[in-house]
Structure 1
């Protein structure tokens, strides 16, 4: 696993980011780098001494210099500032005493200064340490150029004559430019490595946040899908079972006296049972993927939209029920012994599947409650009103017992917490509408749902 994923830390906005330390593998790599550079430096020292460089200095001094120049690099990412200061001091000591060489030692010094920019825990300390090293190094360089300019036996092939650009001055400028590139490169690449590491950490943090948000959205979508399925199951089962119960009772009472009426009731029971099976089959089909027998990832079926409502996929269904079949619902209720009338006011307008199904289910649940709780002599009226701003579905009944009484036996009578009313409230809330429930002053019960068309069109878009 990458080191950044193991040690990634949150990046607080406006706060100084601290680069995490490397893992054990990183420290092993640093040790290998130090040993390789030490071996290369040792070999280079032998070759330099063979050319006469450092002649007269003891071998043990060169060995100590090799150790001091390279082995501290094993801790370059743990204590980068200390390593850079030690490497710089040993480099100057080697140059002054002639015990070193000028190849691998430069590489080691570059790595040490680079590590300060890339791994320092404080950007201010990193800047100060590198500035001190650069100032000291250039001070040492200028001192050497000035000091040896008066010594004719030092680099005698470089004449001191020639005005502003003598061979020796040109040599000095070349050294200055070389050191500018050397220290500037170590500074720049160290800072660039730090910036890249911070960018990766921020990206990983955002990726983690997005993954967590996606998981929360998925969990919420699953809950919404379960809620939708439970609501659909309640509406389908409650409606058809209530019709079957009423018709079965009617058939039982007239079975001996009027076989034809009993047969009609049984036919209604058969039809209602088939419709229930068809709707349940369609509903349960949403739990499987298209053309596949495996379960669907419900986390991708819907969620909450940016206005706080239920997303389209979480609120719609494969059901073909809608306002176009409202007359069938009314006829079915009438066949079941409940006197129901249907009236439509206004010009119908195109609506989304979401509001179409919700309007139908609200009317279905209201009529189911009338059959179950309003009494045998009750009548009901279903009224659909179309306006420029909303679709209104109203169901009233004239029963002496109300749906509220039925819900009181199943839930909280003060809030109408029965499953049927709860389902209606959820459907209306999904499209940003309003729902009015309660007894009428002149008797009976009122269910009125107002579904805003503009809101519905936005949600369905």
Structure 2
């Protein structure tokens, strides 16, 4: 509706300017004085502009034809040119304009030919330049506006694409967090519930401690899940403080809850927060896999502090190559590891660990250990 009102206003203004120009144009000897027919031609040209957005080529053909008819009728030249300027601009600015530009070229040639016949001037006479230059300027203006609109549209599309990509990446990150948290919590619950069931009669205190571990793990998992689900649902986090990103200082509690042991190589030192959080999640997922899928009796976590980063090894004595998750290696090849070491496609857990490592520029290798069982090896720059 707004566009229709704008077009109607343009038609009214162009019609008024055309009528004014026809009224004040100087009548040269041999010209026909403007009459009702002249005004009718000019106003018809303006009225045709009402549908210029939908049929720019057709409107230019109509306006150009009426303009040429005006000149053939020997009326003073140039007076009804305003509708032509608008029609030429509309052709140049249109999305589909091949036909319109062809009509524009034909119109300019016919206009030149008609004025040559009327004035008797030569094809290169300077008196013919002014009208042609103005027609070309109208086309150039339309081309400039069209180019600007295209650039703005591309920028908007790029912004939308970037925003959508960030949303997808954030949802993937949250999905990975949800997977890691639930997998680890289930592993802890399974181990500690089994301990509680075995010692419930003989050692109620130990059973109570195991159940307290289950409750604590469930509480922490609920806090993280609530925050993540809030983002997935409506893009906002749940009320209250956001759970801090886990770091390596939480690893002892994590491995203790699942019966794993932790070893250190090198002098422990603070690492960038993102590296510590990534290392924590990788160890969390690897330990959970060992507990849930490998029937492991012993799980060892080894952290190797190096000058250029952190080495991670999570090894268990479970089913090894028979692990239903398969084994997978991704990222830069560690020393001594070749393409022949690549195994079957990974499950979601190993894929998530791999994406975390490679996202920081590291690598991850998962597969059967040399002495049996299964191991996850990785390196994170830091």
**Same fold (TM > 0.5):** yes
Tell me the distance in 2 between the aligned counterparts of 1:403 and 1:320: 33
Change (3 A) 1:390 1:365: same
**Secondary structure of 2:367's aligned partner:** strand
Residue 111 of structure 1: which of 60, 77, 82 is its match? 82
Tell me the distance in 2 between the aligned counterparts of 1:434 and 1:239: 22
Residue 309 (structure 1) aligns with:
none
Is 2:303 aligned against 1:355? Answer: no
Is 2:362 aligned against 1:382? Answer: no
Residue 405 (structure 1) aligns with:
323
- The range that moved more, 231-240 or 384-393, is 384-393
Residue 151 (structure 2) aligns with:
206
Residue 52 (structure 2) aligns with:
none
Give a deviation string over 1:342-397, Cα, whole Å, max 9, x none: 2132563642x333211111111112222234446x32322222334443211112
Give a deviation string over 1:202-261, Cα, whole Å, max 9, x none: 333333334444444444333333322222122112212221221222222221122222
CA contact (8 A) 2:41 2:66 kept: no
Change (3 A) 1:135 1:386: farther
Tell me the distance in 1 between the aligned counterparts of 2:119 and 2:287: 94
Q: List runs of 5+ in structure 2 lacking aligned partners.
A: 50-58, 92-99, 327-342
Residue 314 (structure 2) aligns with:
395
C-alpha displacement of 1:38: 5.7
**Secondary structure of 1:443's aligned partner:** coil
CA contact (8 A) 1:283 1:319 kept: no
Change (3 A) 1:87 1:268: same
Give 1:419-434 correspondences, 5 Å limit.
Answer: 419-434=348-363
Tell me the distance in 1 between the aligned counterparts of 2:281 and 2:85: 70
Tell me the distance in 1 between the aligned counterparts of 2:311 and 2:199: 39
Residue 230 (structure 1) aligns with:
175
Is 2:246 aligned against 1:321? Answer: yes
Tell me the distance in 1 between the aligned counterparts of 2:230 and 2:15: 65
**Secondary structure of 2:323's aligned partner:** helix
Tell me the distance in 2 between the aligned counterparts of 1:279 and 1:32: 64
Give 1:51-450 correspondences, 5 Å limit.
Answer: 64=37, 67=40, 71=44, 74-75=47-48, 77-79=59-61, 80-90=63-73, 93-94=74-75, 107-108=79-80, 110-111=81-82, 114=85, 118=89, 119=91, 121-122=101-102, 124-133=105-114, 135-136=116-117, 139=120, 184=130, 186-284=131-229, 286-287=231-232, 295-296=234-235, 319-333=244-258, 338-345=259-266, 348=269, 350-351=271-272, 353-375=273-295, 378-397=297-316, 399-402=317-320, 405-407=323-325, 415=344, 417-450=346-379
Tell me the distance in 2 between the aligned counterparts of 1:230 and 1:451: 22
TM-score by length of 2: 0.70
Q: How many residues align?
A: 339
Q: List runs of 5+ in structure 1 lacking aligned partners.
A: 4-22, 96-104, 142-175, 289-294, 299-316, 409-413, 454-461
